[in-house]
Amino acid sequence: MYSEAAQPSFRDIVPEDAVVEQVSTGHLFTEGPVWDPREGALLWVDITGDTIWKWIPGVGRSVFLSPSGKSNGLTFDRQGRLVAAGWSSRRIWRREHDGSIIPLATHHQGVRIGVPNDIVVRSDGSIYWTDSVSGLRAPGFETDEDLQIYRPGVALFRVVPETGEVTMVTDEVPGANGLAFSPDESLLYVNDSRAKHIKVFDVQPDGSLANGRIWATGYRSATKVDVNGNVYVTADGIAVIDPAGTYLGRIAVPEHTTNLCWGGDDLKTLYITGGGSVYRIRLLAQGCPVFDPGQVPA
């Protein structure tokens, strides 16, 4: 059985005959998947393998970038440029259209940031990421960069690429990991891996956060949303939660899940990273696009 329904409405999202398929395997630690609609390609990271991979349906996989600074979360900005949470390189970086890579954030108030984990881009172009210190010396994730911990706490940061201004938007999530905006960007969900709950914040017009509160409990890792505001979380497989916080059901996955993203021409394929593999499942729900390729300058 590939899915378990806790509420009847779960079957409006995950059909009973939906099958989890393996896309790629033989990696060390997969994470950070993101779909590129221009190529119809999936990108993901193998953190321990220090590589970003690309896979095109019907074509297969290839190395996209190696070494990758043992990057973690990936996304695209509104111009279609790849943006990465550079875990072991301890920076937020962007890949330009010509293939060059530029750092966007390395410090906050003169202090070196920790290890960027997950990452999202708001429609105004500002970039949010969760930042911790837990991976500086983790086997396989370790860095050749400065190992000194300058700021011991976990925080959520924001950078405005045009100015380079870095601000801390909250330190109220001690185990901050996955994060995702609601479809209208009025809410930001932040998963606390330590406390095993999801906090939600109201996003203010200036990009700051307010009114942080626990939204759902029992979940601890990566987070994504669909166009109807349902939340998908890596748990024991993939848990699906409706906008009111009600648990709808679970998608079973053969390996421990680490992250997920929407893909395919219609954004109804859910891609899932876990262990040494990448998986996919076709759903009835549609994911939120990361960027609109029709708005990207030629």
Question: Tens digits of per-residue pLDDT, 273-288?
Answer: 999 999 999 999 999 9
- Mark residue 67 as left, alpha or beta (left: phi above 0; alpha: psi -120 to 50; beta: remaining): beta
Q: What is the CA radius of gyration of the chain?
A: 18
Q: pLDDT, tens digit, for every residue of 160-217?
A: 999 999 999 999 999 999 999 999 999 999 999 999 999 999 999 999 999 999 999 9
What pLDDT does residue 88 have?
Answer: 87
Compute φ and ψ for 270, nearest 5 degrees.
-95, 120
Instruction: List strands edge to edge, sheet with 231-235.
Output: 3-5, 247-251, 237-241, 231-235, 223-225
CATH of residue 142: 2.120.10.30
Distance CA 99, CA 124 (A): 23
Overall domain count for the chain: 1
Model-wide pTM > 0.85:
yes
DSSP 288: P
- Residue 120's domain comprises 3-295
DSSP 197: E
Q: Which of 1-10, 52-61, 138-147 has the lowest mean pLDDT?
A: 138-147
What pLDDT does residue 136 have?
Answer: 67
Distances (CA, A) of 77 to 81, 85, 123, 167: 5, 13, 9, 18
What pLDDT does residue 214 have?
Answer: 96
Strand ranges for 66-100 from DSSP E: 74-76, 82-86, 91-95
What pLDDT does residue 236 have?
Answer: 86
- 92: Cβ–Cβ under 8 A, 6 or more apart, which residues? 83, 84, 85, 86, 103, 104, 105, 106, 116, 119, 127, 129, 159
